[in-house]
């Protein structure tokens, strides 16, 4: 429960606060109950002040990027949901082949910025509908590339309000995992290193990636992308299909008929519908193939 003191502090900080805000407006699944306060924070100082106040008043907070990998509970989120806006949405070239991106910048903006500067290497991320912060947290990847391939270092705010930096291997990237996956930290900005490349070549690679996505993924329906991680030696979608679960549904949640690794929201799906469907898929796949499907999407 947000105290009146904390509410007052939030209102006076450099941020845009919305109270009793439906999270369905902020997730690509279009699912999620209300949060007590959805707070788009514009400056590092405001972020520090708000997080310190949350810690001191034992108010829970959750950092959201673009909400494209989340299943938010129907009961909503207690405390604050913090989104990084303002100065966290800035992007700039900071060397011959390096770019510094605020954690709130979308991957789409990074790809376009890099293309316009004639820097290649980020094309794999074209079409991943997340932010830089979310992508580093998850080590997002596609079509042979991963965020770990281009990230040099990242700055973050720790739980005690101190700013720190992780460089290179300290970021502990592995498949859909980073050092941040088990940390209560806010990624502030990220430095990425790319390679000089012909702009046309970059453009065609991006276009090719998007064509592949359009062909394979149900982009016309709300979803959170691939629900399950790729199990060692298998493809989740192929296993799900093999088990006859393509098109399986619970309420308005459905295993996509276009890509069985996706669950789509056909209109009024609840988080409970999606959860029940996920458990059903996991149970059937385990029973029929012996493979355990681990979730890639995060439950909030």
Ligand X SMILES: Cc1cc2nc3c(=O)[nH]c(=O)nc-3n(C[C@H](O)[C@H](O)[C@H](O)COP(=O)(O)OP(=O)(O)OC[C@H]3O[C@@H](n4cnc5c(N)ncnc54)[C@H](O)[C@@H]3O)c2cc1C
Site residues (vs ligand X, CB under 6 A): 28, 63-70, 84, 103, 128-131, 133-135, 137-138, 140-142, 180, 186-187, 217, 219, 223-225, 298
106, 226, 256, 260: the catalytic one is 226
176, 221, 248, 260: the catalytic one is 176
For 287-292, which contacts have Cβ atoms below 8 Å and span 24 or more sequence positions? 288/242, 288/243, 289/234, 289/239, 289/242, 289/243, 291/231, 291/234, 291/239, 292/231
Among this protein's residues, is 89 annotated catalytic?
Answer: no
Q: How far is the CB of 60 from ligand X (least distance, A)?
A: 12
Q: How far is the CB of 102 from ligand X (least distance, A)?
A: 9
Nearer to ligand X by C-beta: 17 or 219? 219
Q: What is d(CA 15, CA 11) in angstroms, rounded to the nearest whole number?
A: 7
Instruction: Identify the helix (H) or strand (E) that includes residue 29.
Output: none
Among this protein's residues, is 193 annotated catalytic?
Answer: no
List CB contacts of 281: < 8 A, sequence separation 6 or more: 227, 228, 240, 243, 245, 248, 255, 293
Q: In this structure, what token pair is assigned to residue 51?
A: 């997080």
Q: What is d(CA 78, CA 97) in angstroms, rounded to the nearest whole number?
A: 42
Radius of gyration of the chain (CA): 20
Q: How far is the CB of 96 from ligand X (least distance, A)?
A: 27
Among this protein's residues, is 296 annotated catalytic?
Answer: yes
Nearer to ligand X by C-beta: 194 or 297? 297
Q: How far is the CB of 50 from ligand X (least distance, A)?
A: 14
Q: Which residues are catalytic?
A: 176, 226, 296
């Amino acid at each position: 429960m947000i105290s009146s003191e904390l509410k007052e502090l939030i209102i006076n900080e450099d941020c845009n606060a919305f109270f009793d805000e439906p999270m369905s407006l902020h997730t690509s699944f279009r699912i999620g109950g209300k949060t007590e306060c959805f707070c788009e924070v514009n400056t590092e100082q405001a972020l520090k002040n708000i997080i310190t106040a949350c810690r001191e008043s034992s108010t829970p907070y959750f950092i959201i990027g673009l909400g494209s990998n989340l299943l938010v509970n129907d009961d909503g989120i207690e405390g604050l949901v913090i989104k990084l806006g303002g100065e966290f949405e800035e992007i700039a070239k900071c060397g011959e082949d390096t770019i510094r991106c605020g954690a709130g910048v979308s991957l789409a903006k990074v790809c376009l910025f890099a293309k316009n500067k004639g820097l290649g290497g980020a094309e794999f991320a074209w079409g991943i509908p997340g932010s830089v912060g979310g992508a580093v947290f998850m080590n997002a990847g596609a079509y042979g590339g991963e965020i770990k391939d281009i990230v040099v270092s990242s700055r973050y705010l720790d739980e005690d309000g101190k700013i720190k930096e992780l460089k290179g291997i300290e970021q502990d990237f592995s498949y859909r995992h980073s050092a941040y996956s088990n940390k209560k930290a806010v990624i502030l900005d990220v430095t990425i290193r790319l390679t000089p490349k012909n702009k046309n070549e970059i453009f065609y690679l991006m276009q090719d990636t998007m064509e592949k996505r359009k062909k394979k993924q149900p982009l016309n329906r709300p979803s959170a992308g691939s629900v399950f991680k790729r199990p060692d030696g298998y493809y989740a979608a192929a296993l799900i299909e093999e088990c006859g679960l393509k098109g399986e549904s619970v309420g308005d949640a459905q295993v996509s008929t276009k890509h069985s690794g996706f669950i789509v929201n056909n209109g009024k799906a609840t988080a409970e519908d999606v959860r029940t469907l996920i458990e059903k898929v996991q149970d059937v796949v385990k029973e029929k193939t012996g493979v355990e499907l681990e979730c890639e999407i995060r439950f909030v």
